[in-house]
Amino acid sequence: MADVSEEIARQELHRFFEAMDIDVEESELDEDDNQQLGLLVRSICSGNLSIDEDGQPVYRPKTGGGEPITFYEPTGASYMAMDKRATRRSDRGAEPQDQTVAKMFRVMADMTKTNVSLFANMKNRDLKVCMAIASIFLAQ
């Protein structure tokens, strides 16, 4: 994979935003959002993340030799995946648990037309990039 300049990487990221009608005002982003965008720019620079001809992010995991993962534009079903088994009772029968990670994995599986186990078994260095991509979609 060839290295890409930061300028080209940012252009590609903005092409993704434009294709998916994502409104990102970089001057208004908080520190966490800036970190996620920086992670995506670095992933494009390294060649692990690209934006296809339809403006969809395609991630090539660094570990495990996995196949490229395409993040398709979310549908209503993608958002509904957040509701499935959204809460359960804790062992003490008190407050329901949030299961934020499980919800995110279900949404990512729907967006990528894969199985939740892909993300459950993914190493953190790849998972954090996939979660950053999904977070951008969900922030809209």
Alpha carbon distances (Å) from 33 to 36, 73, 80, 90, 128? 5, 19, 24, 31, 13
Query: The whole model's pTM is what?
Result: 0.85
Closest residue by Cα to residue 108 from 136, 80, 88, 78: 78
Any domain includes 21: yes
- Dihedral angle, C-alpha 98, 102, 104, 106, nearest 10 °: -130
Task: Dump pLDDT digits (tens) for 17-58.
Answer: 999 999 887 777 788 888 999 999 999 999 999 999 999 999
Any domain includes 1: no
Any domain includes 78: yes
Task: Dump pLDDT digits (tens) for 66-101.
Answer: 799 999 999 988 888 877 654 444 444 444 556 788
Supply the range of the domain harboring residue 40.
Answer: 6-138
Domain count of the chain? 1
